[in-house]
Amino acid sequence: MEIEKINKVEKLIFMAILLMALFSLLNIFDFRFKETKINFAGLTIVIGVAMYFVVLAMKKTEDLLNFKMISRALQDKNLVVLCLIPLALNIICLVGAKLFLPEFVEHLKMRTNFLAVNQIPLLIIQLAIAAIGEEIAWRGFFQNQLSAVLPFLPALIVTAALFAICHHTSGSLSVVLYDMLFIFINALLYGFIFRKVNNIFISSLAHFMANLSGIIFIFFL
């Protein structure tokens, strides 16, 4: 009976990974329902977060949302530096855009127009929820489960590529590729951080700080 339950979970994991990959790719296209664009990227987060907790409950795996581990992990200076690299890359991305690709700034503002930039406490909550949701879905579930069947490096690259595609929004080719390139690089870093500490909160912290720095630079500087 226990083996049968595990087999059912494995099939569910497989289907969820396929759906997340498919919805990521569909995000490139402009599918609409009654004039409203279908948010395929949001569906990947819902599936990934739900599956993380399903797997946790049914397979009795290690809970990667270990809040107590944060302070101990951040005593590692190399890890702290690694967590700050995505933040630095976002600033480099935006400085480069200001100098050489100014239309990217407007593209980014359009992509983040749902954020409450005029209400700082709410903005911080939005960015924190977005970061931890994406990390649970894409690192805690997708990358973690893909790493069980693939070597780490291919699993990392596939996860980061699909994660970047999930952030695709319409625009000129140069702007879209510039945007997705930096998202892909940062996603590689989030995945590596997650692999290093096996804790979603740490990769979420790096993710949150990177996003916050980008919003501050774009809207307040």
Domain residue ranges of the chain, discontinuous segments joined by + = 64-220
Between 58 and 132, the more confident residue is 132
Average pLDDT over residues 114-137: 94
pLDDT at residue 187 above 70? yes
> Rounded to two decimals, what is the model's pTM?
0.94
Residue 79's pLDDT is 95
Tell me the three state secondary structure of residue 61. coil
Helices 152-166, 173-197: inter-axial angle, 10-degree rounding: 140
148 pLDDT band, cuts 50/70/90, is very high
Confidence of residue 5 (pLDDT cuts 50, 70, 90): low
In DSSP notation, 90-159 reads HHHHHHHHHHH-THHHHHHHHHTTTS-TT-HHHHHHHHHHHHHHHHIIIIIIIIHHHTTTS-HHHHHHHH
